[in-house]
Amino acid sequence: EETQYICAGCGVKVQTEDKMALGYAPPSALQRDVIICQRCFRLKHYNEVQDVSLTDDDFLKILHTLGQKRALIVKIVDVFDFNGSWLNGLHRFVGKNEVLLVANKVDLLPKSTNRNKLLNWLRKSASDLGLKPIDVKLMSAAKGESVLDIANSIDEYRKGKDVYIVGATNVGKSTFINRIIREFEGDEEQMITTSHFPGTTLDMIDIPLDDGQTLYDTPGIINHHQMAHYIDKKELKIITPKKEIKPIVHQLNEGQTLFFAGLARMDFAKGERTSFVSFFSNELKIHRTKIEKADELFSNHLGDLLSPPGTESVKDFPEMVKHTFRVKNNKVDLVYSGLGFVSINGSGLDVIAYAPKGVHVSIRESIM
């Protein structure tokens, strides 16, 4: 029987199998006198937090805990995948606590984006989803844009209370926290530690605030709607935008189709000639064809001309599901969760979207 080691840093059971899972330590770490997990190791030696993912069950426990605290909750979402990163249900658990909503990765949107319009849209969408945040902020944690401004807002809105940072995995929570931690560097009095969530095996990072209160970084939950589940890591890099998105304009006639690599498709089924503006990773290829040829192109060229998915991922690629939309007389965005969106400026149009089964597709008032 194997010996079970416990991390001296956070108390989690140490395992050496799954690098992405909680409690991972490289086998060599077991030879040391004091055994700590990789996450605590990085925190201790590099002042850096790592993200861990968790189950829906554990996440519910965390939400439940938040409702019983008196705290400011800072909810981080990915501005490029708002619905996918939203964390449904949070508003039902926060109780009387105030929520500061932070939309990260704003650097991905074109510089010409109207920020006030975007903020209004975020406020309205939050409200439609049942949340009335105390404030809404735009941020680029990666570029450091507005990070300090948000840290100041947190200090103002918390009114002496603790702070919990929550967000789906991949929204940039660690990038944000790591920037804040760097602000503490050199301050010997301050000690960043980890502590347990009651009733779970999960730990959070505790950053001391100057009045004796604490900022807690909670583990993120996996976003189930994302494309990320259907393609491999290399392909994910292609579809994840890293730089400011260059919009691609297509003037389409009725009967034309766009393929977004092999991951999504949009048919312009009915309407006057219209402009469609695509906002996807700059490395993702868009193919235009006719609707009547689209099925054949897809079945013959998925995995090569239409790639990603590549030759490997194509083997267990899910079936495409059809979503039908009617655009009346406002500018809308057709959103493929975790992939991108198409801004449509026209009226009385019929548009048919296809996406892999499980990937969310929706229409929203345009943010552009």
Residues making contact with ligand GDP (CB under 6 A):
51, 104-105, 107-108, 140-142, 167, 169-175, 220, 242
Contact (CB, 8 A) for 253 and 223 = no
Q: How far is the CB of 174 from ligand GDP (least distance, A)?
A: 3
Contact (CB, 8 A) for 206 and 184 = no
Nearer to ligand GDP, 122 or 258 (CB): 122
Q: How far is the CB of 367 from ligand GDP (least distance, A)?
A: 16
Nearer to ligand GDP, 243 or 357 (CB): 243
Nearer to ligand GDP, 94 or 177 (CB): 177
Nearer to ligand GDP, 223 or 274 (CB): 223
Nearer to ligand GDP, 147 or 258 (CB): 147
One-character DSSP codes across 95-149:
TT--EEEEEE-GGGS-TT--HHHHHHHHHHHHHHTT---SEEEE-BTTTTBTHHH
Contact (CB, 8 A) for 119 and 136 = yes
Q: How far is the CB of 110 from ligand GDP (least distance, A)?
A: 13
One-character DSSP codes across 49-94:
----EE-HHHHHHHHHHHHTS-EEEEEEEEGGGTTTTS-TTHHHHS
| Alpha-helical runs (H) found in the chain | 38-46, 56-67, 90-93, 115-128, 147-157, 173-184, 233-239, 291-301
Q: How far is the CB of 242 from ligand GDP (least distance, A)?
A: 6
Nearer to ligand GDP, 79 or 320 (CB): 79
Q: Furthest-apart CA pair in the chain: how many Å?
A: 73
Joined together, the tokens standing for residue 296 give 């054949």
Q: How far is the CB of 162 from ligand GDP (least distance, A)?
A: 20
Nearer to ligand GDP, 174 or 343 (CB): 174
Nearer to ligand GDP, 168 or 332 (CB): 168
79 burial (CB, 10 Å; 0-12 / 13-18 / 19+) is: buried
Q: In this chain, which residue has its C-beta nearest to ligand GDP? A: 172
Q: How far is the CB of 163 from ligand GDP (least distance, A)?
A: 16
Q: How far is the CB of 342 from ligand GDP (least distance, A)?
A: 20
- Cα dihedral 82, 85, 88, 93 sign: negative
Distance CA 320, CA 317 (A): 9
Distance CA 32, CA 20 (A): 22
Distance CA 30, CA 115 (A): 50
Distance CA 36, CA 231 (A): 33
Q: How far is the CB of 6 from ligand GDP (least distance, A)?
A: 25
